[in-house]
Chains A and B, each alone.
Chain A
Amino acid sequence: MRILVVEDDKDVAGFVVKGLREAGHTVEHADNGRDGLFLAASENFDAIILDRMLPGGIDGLRLLETLRAQDNVTPVVFLSALSQVDDRVKGLKAGGDDYLTKPFAFAELLARVEALTRRGKTDGPTTRLAVGDLEIDLLSRGVKRAGQKIDLQPREFRLLEYLMRHAGQVVTRTMLLEGVWDYHFDPQTNVIDVHVSRLRQKIDKPFELPLLHTVRNAGYMLRAEDV
Chain B
Amino acid sequence: MSSSRAIAAVTRERGAKKRPKPLIRSAGIRLALVYAAVFGVSAFALAFSLWYSTVGLLERQVEVAIRNDATALNDHYTMGGLPSLVTAIEDRLAISPDGDAIYLLLDARGTKIIGNLDHWPAGLNQTDAWYELPVTRHGAGSTALLRAFGLGNGDQLLVGRDDSARTQLRGILEQGLLSAMGLMTLLGLVGAILIRALFRRTIQDIAATTRAISRGDLTRRVPQSGDGDEFDELAEIINDMLDRITRLMDGVREVSNSIAHDLRTPITRARTRLEDAALHASSPDDLRSAIERATDDLDGVVAVFQALLRIAEIEAGARRSAFAMLDLSPLLLDIEDLYHAVAEDRGILLRTEICNPLRLLGDRELIQQAVTNLLENALKFSPEGAVITFRAARAGATIEITIADNGPGISEQDRLRATERFFRAESARSTTGSGLGLALVSAVANLHNGMLSLSDNHPGLRAVILLPQTPDLPGD
Binding stretch for chain A, among B93-101, B248-256, B331-339, B449-457: B331-339
Asked if B334 and A85 make an inter-chain contact with CB atoms under 8 angstroms apart, the answer reads: no
CB distance from B314 to the nearest CB of A (A): 10
Q: B292, B342, B379: which has the most chain A beta carbons within 10 Å?
A: B342
Point out the residues of chain B lying under 8 angstroms from A105, CB to CB: 299
Q: Which residues of B contact A (CB under 8 A)?
A: 292, 298-299, 302-303, 306, 309, 313, 318-319, 322, 334, 337-339, 341-342, 345, 365, 368-369, 372, 376, 379-380, 432-433, 437
When the two chains form their complex, are residues B338 and A181 in contact, meaning their CB atoms are under 8 A apart? yes
Give the residues in chain A near B338, CB-CB below 8 Å. Answer: 181, 183, 187, 191, 195
6 closest A-B pairs by beta carbon, nearest first, are A194-B341, A194-B342, A188-B376, A185-B369, A194-B345, A84-B313
Which residues from 147 to 183 on chain A have a C-beta closer than 8 Å to any C-beta of chain B? 155, 181-183
Q: Find the residue from B306, B318, B338, B345 having the highest chain A CB count within 10 A.
A: B338
Cβ of A86 < 8 Å from any Cβ of B? yes
Tell me if B322 and A85 are in contact (CB < 8 A): yes
If A194-B342, A198-B341 touch, whether A84 touches B309 (CB-CB below 8 Å) is yes
B379 near A189: Cβ-Cβ < 8 Å = yes
CA distance A181 to B335 in the complex (A): 8
Chain B residues with CB below 8 A from A217, complex form: 292
- A83 touching B372 by the CB < 8 A rule? no
Task: Point out the residues of chain A lying under 8 angstroms from B341, CB to CB.
Answer: 191, 194-195, 198
Complex alpha-carbon distance, A198 and B306, angstroms:
30
* A73-116 near B? 1/0 per residue, CB < 8 Å: 00000000001111001000000000000010100000000000
Interface pair A188/B433, CB less than 8 Å apart: yes
Contact A103 B318 (CB under 8 A): no
Query: Roughly how many angstroms separate A166 CA and B357 CA in the complex, as a whole number?
Result: 35
A103 and B334 within 8 A (CB) = no
Q: Is A137 close to B, CB under 8 A?
A: no
Query: Given A189-B342, A189-B379 in contact, is the A85-B319 Cβ separation under 8 Å?
Result: yes
* Contacting residues, chain A, for B379 (C-beta < 8 A): 189
* Whole-angstrom distance between the Cβ of B364 and the nearest chain A Cβ: 9
Q: Which residue of A lies closest to B432 (CB)?
A: A188
* B322 in contact with A182 (CB, 8 Å): no
Can you give 14 contacting A-B residue pairs, CB < 8 Å?
Answer: A84-B313, A86-B318, A86-B319, A89-B322, A103-B299, A181-B334, A186-B303, A188-B376, A188-B433, A189-B339, A189-B342, A189-B379, A190-B342, A195-B341
